[in-house]
Chains A and B, each alone.
Chain A
Amino acid sequence: MSMNQQGRPTGVKRSVTNSFEGASLLPLEPLLFEIGATDHTGVDLPDVELSSARLGAFTRQSPLDLPGLSEPEAMRHYVRLSRLNYSIDAGLYPLGSCTMKHNPRLNEKMARLPGFADVHPLQPISTVQGAIGVISELAEWLMVLTNTSAVAMSPKAGAHGELCGMMAIHAAHIANGEGHRTIVLVPESAHGTNPATAAFLGYKVKPIPAKADGTVDISAVEEALSSDVAAIMLTNPNTCGLFEPDVKKIADAVHKAGAYFYCDGANFNAIMGIARPGDLGIDAMHINLHKTFSTPHGGGGPGAGPVVLSKALAPFAPVPFVRQNSGKLELAEHAQGSKSLGRLTAFHGQMGMFTRALTYMLSHGGDGLAQAANDAVLNANYLKARLGAVFSMPFGEQHCMHEVLCDDDFLEGTGVTTLDFAKAMIDEGYHPMTMYFPLVVHGAMLIEPTESESLKALDAFAHTMLELAAAAKAGDTDRFTSAPHKAPMRRLDETGAARNPKLKWEKSR
C-alpha cells in the first residue's frame, strides 16, 4: 500500500459547527458605513485653489459623514453583496407577470457605445441625429408589432406609461366635451397599478368580476358601461395567464359607450408577432421594455414604458416626440399650441433602455420575436402539463398563455401555505414564482418560465416542484414552514421592520 507521507488529511470529517462569520463563500458583509472611513477614497483628484466668493453665504457647514472606500475595498464590498442576490443569469426566475427573460449582453455593449452613452439630451438636434434615429426606429417596431399609429416614448416605466395612457384618455374626453365621465372599469384580477393610476387622475374605480373560467365577464362590462364611464383598463393576456377571448367585443362595447380601452401590456410577450393589440381594439397600451424586450431589471429598475396609441388618442401624446422634416429628424419638445397632454418627464425618456430594446429586436427580427412568443407559451403549457396532475389549477381546462396559474388547493390539510412552499423552493435553488397574485385566486402561484428556458431546465424545475409537492403531502411540514434553511438569510422579520422603521444606518449602533 502507498503511504500518505505529506501528513495530508484524507477523507471528510462530518461536523455541525457553524462558522463565526457566515458561510465561507458567502460571508456576512458589514455595511459601507462600518467598513469605510471619511478619510478613505477610491479616486485621485487634484487639490485646487478655491475662492468661495461665488458661493456667497452658502458654503457647506453641516457634516457630510460619507465614508469612502479605496477601489479594492469597493470591489470587495459590492462583489460580496452581489453574491447574496439571486439572478436570471444564475437560475430560472419564474416570476409570473414579470417576464424574467435572458438579458443579452450585446444590448449592454451597444448601450455603452459613446455615441449613445456620452451624448447630452439638450445638445443641438443636428448633433444627435443617430440618437433620435434610435427612438424613431424603436417606435416604428413598436407600432408595427401592435398595429397602432402613434407611440409615446417618454414614460419612464410601466406605471408611468399607464399614467400617460390614462392622461391621454382624460385629455381626449375633455377635448370632446365629455369631461363628465368619472368612472374607470378595472377587472378584479388587474395589477395594483391600474386602480392606483385611475384614482390618481380622479377617476372612481369600478371593479369588474371575472367569470368562473378566469376571463372577464363581458355581460358585467356591458352592464357597467354608461355615459359616465371614461375607460376600461384591461390586461390582455390577463393576469391569470389567459387570453381574453371576448376582447374585441369588449372593445366594441366600450367604444360604443363613448369610452376608451386602456390595455395593460405587461403580458405582451405572449402574443408579440401573433396578435396585434391594435386589431383587438385597444386605444392605449404601455409596453414594458424591461419585460418583453429584455432590458435588465437591475434589482428593481430602471424600466421603460412606451405607450402605443390609437388614431383617436394620438393627437394627445405627450412631448417630446420625433418628427421628420425634409429628411432630418426633429424633436417636438413643447406642447403649446397642440392637443398634447404635456410633458411627463425632463428630457426624452429612457434612452439607455431604447438602445437595448432596439438591439434585442434587431437580433430577433420579426420572425424571432414571434418565435419567442411561441416558445414562451409552449414553455408555460409544458410546465402546466408536467405539473397538472399534482398542482391545482383553477383554470386548468384551457391552454394558458405565457404563464400558468395554480392555487393552494393541492396544499389543503398539509399545514403548508403558498408562502412556505415558495420559501422551500429557495432551498432547492429556485427563485419562487409570483405569490398571492392575482388576488382573485386563493393562495395564488403564478409561474412564468419565459422562452429563455431550455427543455432540460424546465424538466429539472418540474421535477423539483413535484418533489416539493410530494414532500408537503407526505407531512414533511418543517421543510416548508421554517424554510429557507440554505439561503444567505433565514426568514426575515418584516413585522418588526414595519413596526419600528429603521431606514438608515445610525452611528450609535
Chain B
Amino acid sequence: MNKIVYTEDHEYINAQGTTATIGISNYAQEQLGDIVYVELPAVGTSFKKGDEIAVVESVKAASEIYAPADFTVTEINPALEADPAQVNSDAMGAGWLMKGTLENASQLEELMDETAYATHIA
C-alpha cells in the first residue's frame, strides 16, 4: 500500500515498501511560482536525510530540496529537463523529481501525513 508523507520543508515521499518517489508538494510549487529548471542528482547517489538532493529554480529564486530520508537514487524524472513546468502542473504526479531505495523505511514515521501537512501549511 502506498503511503504519502511530507516534510516541514515541503518535500513529499510516496513509498511502497523501500521503493520511494520523491517530489515537492503542490503547496511548494505554488509558492515557488513558474518553475524553469530542475537540477537533479546522478542515479546511484546515496543521500542521508537532510542532504541537498536537488535544486528547483524559478526565474528569481533557487530552492534547495532536501532528502526526506536516507536513500539511494535509482531513477530521475527524465521529462523535467525538457518540461520543468510539469512540477507546476502536476507536482504530486507527473512532476515527481526522483525515485530511490530507502535505507530505513522507519524514518518515514517521523514525517507528516496528509492531514498533519494540511495543518502545517494552513
Partners in one complex: yes
Q: Does B23 contact A (CB under 8 A)?
A: no
| Interface-facing stretch out of A261-269, A287-295, A301-309, A491-499 | A491-499
Interface centre among B34, B57, B84, B85 (most CB of A within 10 A): B34
Closest chain B residue to A436, Cβ basis = B60
**Bound-state Cα–Cα, A499 to B59, Å:** 9
Number of B interface residues in the complex (CB < 8 A): 9
**Bound-state Cα–Cα, A498 to B84, Å:** 11
Q: Which residues of A contact B37 (CB under 8 A)?
A: 498-499
The residues in A between 454 and 507 inclusive whose CB is less than 8 angstroms from any CB of B are 494-495, 498-499
A to B CB contacts below 8 Å, 15 in the list:
A436-B60, A494-B59, A495-B34, A495-B36, A495-B58, A495-B59, A498-B36, A498-B37, A498-B57, A498-B59, A499-B34, A499-B36, A499-B37, A499-B84, A499-B85
Q: Which residues of A contact B84 (CB under 8 A)?
A: 499
Shortest beta-carbon distance, A256 to chain B, in Å?
35
Shortest beta-carbon distance, A47 to chain B, in Å?
49
* Nearest 7 interchain pairs by C-beta: A498-B36, A495-B34, A494-B59, A499-B36, A498-B59, A495-B59, A495-B36
Closest chain A residue to B57, Cβ basis = A498
Give chain B's interface secondary structure class.
Answer: loop
Residues in A lying within 8 Å of B, measured CB to CB: 436, 494-495, 498-499
**Bound-state Cα–Cα, A436 to B59, Å:** 14
Interface centre among B58, B59, B84, B85 (most CB of A within 10 A): B59
Q: Which residues of B contact A436 (CB under 8 A)?
A: 60
**Bound-state Cα–Cα, A499 to B34, Å:** 9
**Bound-state Cα–Cα, A495 to B35, Å:** 8
The residues in B between 38 and 88 inclusive whose CB is less than 8 angstroms from any CB of A are 57-60, 84-85
Residues in B lying within 8 Å of A, measured CB to CB: 34, 36-37, 57-60, 84-85
* Given A495-B34, A495-B58, A499-B36, 10 additional A-B pairs, CB 8 A: A436-B60, A494-B59, A495-B36, A495-B59, A498-B37, A498-B57, A498-B59, A499-B34, A499-B37, A499-B84
Q: Which residues of B contact A499 (CB under 8 A)?
A: 34, 36-37, 84-85
Shortest beta-carbon distance, A498 to chain B, in Å?
4
**Bound-state Cα–Cα, A436 to B61, Å:** 12
Give chain A's interface secondary structure class.
Answer: helix
Closest chain B residue to A495, Cβ basis = B34
Q: Which residues of A contact B60 (CB under 8 A)?
A: 436
Shortest beta-carbon distance, A413 to chain B, in Å?
21
Interface centre among B36, B37, B60 (most CB of A within 10 A): B36
**Bound-state Cα–Cα, A498 to B37, Å:** 8
Closest chain B residue to A498, Cβ basis = B36
Q: Which residues of B contact A494 (CB under 8 A)?
A: 59
Q: Which residues of B contact A495 (CB under 8 A)?
A: 34, 36, 58-59
Shortest beta-carbon distance, A205 to chain B, in Å?
15
Shortest beta-carbon distance, B63 to chain A, in Å?
14
Q: Which residues of A contact B57 (CB under 8 A)?
A: 498
Shortest beta-carbon distance, A345 to chain B, in Å?
29
Shortest beta-carbon distance, A497 to chain B, in Å?
8
Closest chain A residue to B59, Cβ basis = A494
Shortest beta-carbon distance, A149 to chain B, in Å?
41
**Bound-state Cα–Cα, A499 to B80, Å:** 11
Closest chain B residue to A499, Cβ basis = B36
Q: Which residues of A contact B85 (CB under 8 A)?
A: 499
Shortest beta-carbon distance, B1 to chain A, in Å?
37
**Bound-state Cα–Cα, A494 to B34, Å:** 10
Shortest beta-carbon distance, A508 to chain B, in Å?
20
**Bound-state Cα–Cα, A495 to B32, Å:** 12
**Bound-state Cα–Cα, A495 to B34, Å:** 7
Q: Which residues of A contact B34 (CB under 8 A)?
A: 495, 499
Shortest beta-carbon distance, A420 to chain B, in Å?
15
**Bound-state Cα–Cα, A10 to B37, Å:** 57
Shortest beta-carbon distance, B79 to chain A, in Å?
13
Q: Which residues of B contact A498 (CB under 8 A)?
A: 36-37, 57, 59
**Bound-state Cα–Cα, A494 to B57, Å:** 13
**Bound-state Cα–Cα, A499 to B58, Å:** 9
**Bound-state Cα–Cα, A499 to B85, Å:** 8
**Bound-state Cα–Cα, A494 to B61, Å:** 12
Interface centre among A436, A494, A499 (most CB of B within 10 A): A499
**Bound-state Cα–Cα, A284 to B37, Å:** 38
**Bound-state Cα–Cα, A441 to B22, Å:** 33
Closest chain A residue to B34, Cβ basis = A495
**Bound-state Cα–Cα, A498 to B85, Å:** 11
**Bound-state Cα–Cα, A104 to B84, Å:** 48
Q: Which residues of A contact B36 (CB under 8 A)?
A: 495, 498-499
**Bound-state Cα–Cα, A436 to B57, Å:** 17
**Bound-state Cα–Cα, A295 to B58, Å:** 34
Shortest beta-carbon distance, A238 to chain B, in Å?
23
Interface centre among A436, A494, A498 (most CB of B within 10 A): A498
Shortest beta-carbon distance, B56 to chain A, in Å?
13
Q: Which residues of A contact B59 (CB under 8 A)?
A: 494-495, 498
Shortest beta-carbon distance, A196 to chain B, in Å?
13
**Bound-state Cα–Cα, A499 to B33, Å:** 13
**Bound-state Cα–Cα, A494 to B59, Å:** 7
**Bound-state Cα–Cα, A495 to B58, Å:** 8
**Bound-state Cα–Cα, A480 to B37, Å:** 29
**Bound-state Cα–Cα, A494 to B60, Å:** 9
**Bound-state Cα–Cα, A495 to B61, Å:** 12
**Bound-state Cα–Cα, A416 to B42, Å:** 42
**Bound-state Cα–Cα, A494 to B37, Å:** 13
Shortest beta-carbon distance, A422 to chain B, in Å?
13
**Bound-state Cα–Cα, A452 to B31, Å:** 40
